[in-house]
Structure 1
Amino acid sequence: MSRGPEPAKTPRLSEAQRLAWLRLIRSENVGPSTFRALVNHFGSAERALDALPALSRRGGKPSIRVCPLHEAENEMRAHERAGSRLVALGETGYPPHLRHVDGPPPLLSVNGSDATLASPKTLAVVGARNASLSGRKIAATLARDLSGDGFVIVSGLARGIDAAAHEAALAGGTIAVFAGGIDILYPPEHDGLLARILDAGGSAISEMPFGWKPRGRDFPRRNRLISGLSLGVLVIEAARASGSLHTARFALEQNRDIFAVPGSPLDPRSEGANRLIQQGAMLITCARDVIQSLAGRIEPVLPFEGEISEPDQSAPPEPIEPTDSLRDRIVSALGPTPVEIDELIRFTGLPARTVHVVLLELELAGRLERHRGQQVSLVY
């Protein structure tokens, strides 16, 4: 199978650039996709930070909170004290497959080995927190055998299947993905397991701010990272409505392979995995099934473009300030139903750069929502 395009090599950020990246991603209404659009439009995070207040005002929000320099410096110092670090998209140590998701995190908090994160041969193993003894044994056996074949096992450090997979993959390297800050372990009783992961040369990562306590809404974001780090996702014991199925859905959107271990139709913990098989996921009975399916694969199929143009030493682009009539033309074409940005550009007949600037204005003002597949909608 042919490989996707090689990612562009981004030089290591200077400390000033890293602080600017951190301030920008921690500023109000700036998510990964908005971050990339801002930096690519203005040429650097520093220039984008300077532009945020004006963009927000033109979008209809009189003021926007820009992360102060001292807060970013405090977070950097907290990482240093904790022995963790911030890795930017494109730098050595940023997971290769995560570059190719829709809206990759511009900065990751990392603890542990860069070598484990750099491995292209990664597989996510996820499943029920209240896993059965049989499910835990299956997860441990599959993770151990896959690890023995050179796969780095990715999971969420949760109870049940996640913990069994991490424990079994210690010898070959495993990656734990946090829903909260890199210093906030959940569940807290897995402190010993995390220590063993790091001592064995594994890694832990998070896209959330240092000290962030995870909320329910943060776990889907964590699951998106789990699938994005991996060539495929293996589901073992998942109920009909579970986080593991969310991970499988993200994997489908990210063009990752989906594998599932069948379970008893009498066990509600297997309902989700069995349904995935009905919907086309590959039925797995042993590690060799996965190994043969992914033979020779070192990149996901059809990767997204996730690079950012920083660091940039060129002159800043000429600022664009669309007229009210052009802005109204774009806003009137939007509504609560998501539309593709390319379709919006064709419909309005306006230059792409003008449309993107107005979308940034609206998003920073809290009036625009971005959706998967480069779609946007107005927030009422």
Structure 2
Amino acid sequence: MPDGSARRSGIALTEKQRIAWLRLIRSDNVGPATFRQLINHCGSAENALAMLPELSRRGGATRSLRISSIEDAERELEVASRHGACFVGIGEPDYPPALRHIDGAPPLVAIKGDLTSATRPSVGIVGSRNASVVGAKFAAMIARRCGQNGYVITSGLARGIDTAAHRASVETGTIAVLAGGLDRPYPPENLGLLDEITKGGGLAISEMPFGWEPRARDFPRRNRLIAGISLGVVVVEAAEKSGSLITARMAGDFGRIVFAVPGSPLDPRCHGTNALLKQGAVVTTGPEDVLEALAPLSQLDLFEPPMIEEPDAQTGAIVPPDDDDRYAIISALGPTPAEIDDIIRHTGLPASSVYLVLLELDLAGRLYRHPGGSVSIALPG
């Protein structure tokens, strides 16, 4: 059984840094990976904001980059405060520790509820929105027993399996991960459940701005957070093409344990889970299957130093590569994803030069980043 008490480790951002971080992640063409590269190259979010126009210009941008203003960031922080929420940075004590270790971890997340839930070992439970009575009952049983054994239950607040898992673990602790802003739960019918979670010792978390209505492409981003927060993900009733399978794939990519509940081959809601079992997922016929597999992982130290930290001293000026080197790096790119290490070897140029040119292209909207860290270039068209 894991220690149910939350261990906290990290370095708090100053309010000035928090505003700069929020401005940077809300600026055009700045995602989590780009944010990290900007901090690495520029030394701080404040420096990065000042350098964005020049970096994007060097990347071949055809229009001015929209940079989030201080007023916009302060307004968003104020809205969060009015909703009883706050923004937590990746290196701060209340950031979910397992989430720090995934590729593309969000540098800032909005959190509402009991912050200690964020730092407890977690089990993810996902599945069909059109759940059967038996499937919902089984998900609730897994959630209840895992919660009684010290785990917080993480899910996506969707209908069906997600709802069953959340309801069964409100008393022991549950995390609702939202695809939209914290004030825009989906489906809207679960607004009452969300309120129950945040007031009952649980937590709601999102990387999206307040007021953001979730779109189809936002749900895979949410699924990545579910997989990243959890030590393992249990899939109960999932069709062949479903968001639950996306969550399971991401969990596997992140080194998490994937559990699947076998179901009737005649039920389309079970085709995806049965396929996961063929691919090596842990056969799950009861809570003990989950608890026994997770026991060694729950003792791992996930509370190591923050993964993005601004240095105390200002870094020196960045010396960009010359035109020949920049041309060599861009020429090495194509529409097919390539590993960055392969680009470095192919060009024979310093890694710092390659990363800087990729950063410039990214800010100019000319680079695609793919799962696993590979990149490709956007061809003119």
TM-score if structure 1 supplies the norm length? Answer: 0.95
Structure 1 vs Structure 2: percent identity of aligned residues? 55
Q: What's 1:96 paired with?
A: 97
Q: CA deviation at 1:364?
A: 0.5
Greater Cα shift, 134-143 or 212-221: 134-143
Q: What's 1:324 paired with?
A: 323
Query: SS of the counterpart of 1:110?
Result: strand
Q: Which runs of 4+ in 1 moved over 6 A?
A: 299-306
- Following the alignment from structure 1 to structure 2, what is the Cα–Cα distance between the partners of residues 315 and 294? 42
Q: CA deviation at 1:181?
A: 0.6
CA shift digits 1:239-263 (9 cap, x unpaired)? 0000000000100111110001111
Q: CA deviation at 1:199?
A: 2.1
- Following the alignment from structure 1 to structure 2, what is the Cα–Cα distance between the partners of residues 161 and 210? 26
- Following the alignment from structure 2 to structure 1, what is the Cα–Cα distance between the partners of residues 224 and 303? 15
Query: SS of the counterpart of 1:98?
Result: helix
Are 2:61 and 1:61 aligned? yes
- Following the alignment from structure 1 to structure 2, what is the Cα–Cα distance between the partners of residues 97 and 91? 13
Q: Return closer, same or farther for 1:284/1:91 CA change in 2, 3 Å cut-off.
A: same
Does the 8 Å contact 1:110/1:203 carry over to 2? yes
Give the length in aligned residue pairs.
Answer: 372
- Following the alignment from structure 1 to structure 2, what is the Cα–Cα distance between the partners of residues 154 and 282? 18
Are 2:166 and 1:166 aligned? yes
Which consecutive unaligned segments of at least 5 residues does structure 2 have?
Answer: 1-6
Q: What's 2:269 paired with?
A: 269
Q: Return closer, same or farther for 1:303/1:261 CA change in 2, 3 Å cut-off.
A: farther
Greater Cα shift, 341-350 or 262-271: 341-350
Does the 8 Å contact 1:144/1:169 carry over to 2? yes
- Which amino acid is 1:375 matched to? S
Q: CA deviation at 1:315?
A: 2.4
Does the 8 Å contact 1:8/1:307 carry over to 2? no
Q: CA deviation at 1:176?
A: 0.2
Does the 8 Å contact 1:177/1:222 carry over to 2? yes
CA shift digits 1:4-38 (9 cap, x unpaired)? xxx99642111111000000000000000000010
- Which amino acid is 2:100 matched to? R
CA shift digits 1:283-339 (9 cap, x unpaired)? 1011001111112322779999971122x2212222222221111010001101111
- Which amino acid is 1:87 matched to? V
Q: CA deviation at 1:114?
A: 1.1
Does the 8 Å contact 1:256/1:301 carry over to 2? no
Are 2:373 and 1:374 aligned? yes
Are 2:87 and 1:86 aligned? yes
Does the 8 Å contact 1:102/1:306 carry over to 2? no
Q: What's 1:4 paired with?
A: none
Q: What's 1:3 paired with?
A: none
Which consecutive unaligned segments of at least 5 residues does structure 1 have?
Answer: 1-6
Does the 8 Å contact 1:136/1:160 carry over to 2? yes
Q: Return closer, same or farther for 1:303/1:116 CA change in 2, 3 Å cut-off.
A: closer
Which residues of 2 match residues 330-345 of structure 1 at below 5 A? 330-345=329-344
Q: Return closer, same or farther for 1:111/1:38 CA change in 2, 3 Å cut-off.
A: same
Q: CA deviation at 1:200?
A: 1.7
Which residues of 2 match residues 169-180 of structure 1 at below 5 A? 169-180=169-180
Q: Return closer, same or farther for 1:10/1:172 CA change in 2, 3 Å cut-off.
A: closer
Q: Return closer, same or farther for 1:183/1:29 CA change in 2, 3 Å cut-off.
A: same
- Following the alignment from structure 2 to structure 1, what is the Cα–Cα distance between the partners of residues 83 and 161? 28
Q: Return closer, same or farther for 1:303/1:74 CA change in 2, 3 Å cut-off.
A: closer
Q: CA deviation at 1:117?
A: 0.5
Does the 8 Å contact 1:255/1:303 carry over to 2? no
Does the 8 Å contact 1:100/1:303 carry over to 2? no
Q: CA deviation at 1:346?
A: 1.5
